[in-house]
Amino acid sequence: MDQNIPEVIRTVPLQYYIYFATALFAIGVTGVLTRRNAIIIFMCIELMLNAVNILLTAFSAYRSDPNGQIFVFFIMAVAAAEVSVGLGIIVMIYRNFQNTDVNLLNRLKW
């Protein structure tokens, strides 16, 4: 199986990809949890998403299975749609509050 994997890819071990993706994901989570600006939170979500994408691609390459990479394309397409919706929501929040601080959105409580 290893023979099928190109030399270029083999120069970087799989673990490195995993560490990298995990770090990226952790940064994303931290950002989502700590920041209050909706746009920053949104960007951090994108980070988390792409960490997963990198992981998928890496596994796909090391397993010589193109399915993972194809899946990544789908995720990107869906993410594009999600981004447009999310940004739209943020624009609406700004129009209502003149601000994008998510802590202002605390009216949904009992």
Partner 1 sequence: MQETVLPAAGAPNSTLLYILIPLLPFLGFLINGLLNKRLSGTIAGVIGSATVLGSFLISAYLFSTFQYQYTVTLFDWISVGSMQIPFSYQIDQLSLIMLLLVTGVGFLIHVYSIGYMHHDENVGKYFSFLNLFVFSMLVLVLGANFVILFIGWEGVGLCSYLLIGFWNKHENFNNAAKKAFIINRVGDLGFLLGIFLIYLTFNSVQYGEVFQKASLAQFGPYTASICTAITLLLFVGAMGKSAQLPLYTWLPDAMAGPTPVSALIHAATMVTAGIYMVLRSNVLFTLSPTTLEVVGIVGLATAFFAATIGLAQNDIKKVLAYSTVSQLGYMFLALGVMGYTSSMFHVLTHAFFKALMFLGAGSVIHAMSNEQDMRRMGGLRKALPITFITFLIGCLAISGIPPFSGFFSKDEILSHVYEHNKLMWAIGLFTSFLTAFYMFRLLFLTFFGQFRGTEEQKHHLHESPASMTLPLIILAVLAAVGGFMGAPMILGKHYLADYLAPLFTYSQRINPAAFAAEVDHNTELMLIGASVAAGVLGIVLAYVQYVSRGVLPAEDEGQRSAPESLVYHKYYVDELYNALFVRPIMGLSRGLYRFVEQGIIDPIVNGFGRITLGGGQLLRYVQTGTTGMYLILMVVGIVLILALNLFRF
Site residues for partner 1 per CB under 8 A: 29, 32-33, 36, 102-103, 105-110
* CB of residue 33 to partner 1, shortest distance in Å: 6
* Of residues 37 and 60, the one with the C-beta less far from partner 1: 37
Measured distance CA(108)–CA(72) in Å, rounded:
35
* Of residues 65 and 101, the one with the C-beta less far from partner 1: 101
* Of residues 23 and 105, the one with the C-beta less far from partner 1: 105
* CB of residue 29 to partner 1, shortest distance in Å: 6
* CB of residue 45 to partner 1, shortest distance in Å: 10
What is the distance between the terminal CA atoms of the chain, rounded to a whole angstrom?
58
- Provide the residue count of the chain: 110
**Closest to 60 (Cα-Cα) out of 3, 8, 9, 7:** 9
* CB of residue 106 to partner 1, shortest distance in Å: 3
* Of residues 26 and 87, the one with the C-beta less far from partner 1: 26
Tokens 């952790």 belong to 26
Measured distance CA(91)–CA(85) in Å, rounded:
10
What sign does the CA torsion over 18, 21, 24, 30 have? Answer: negative
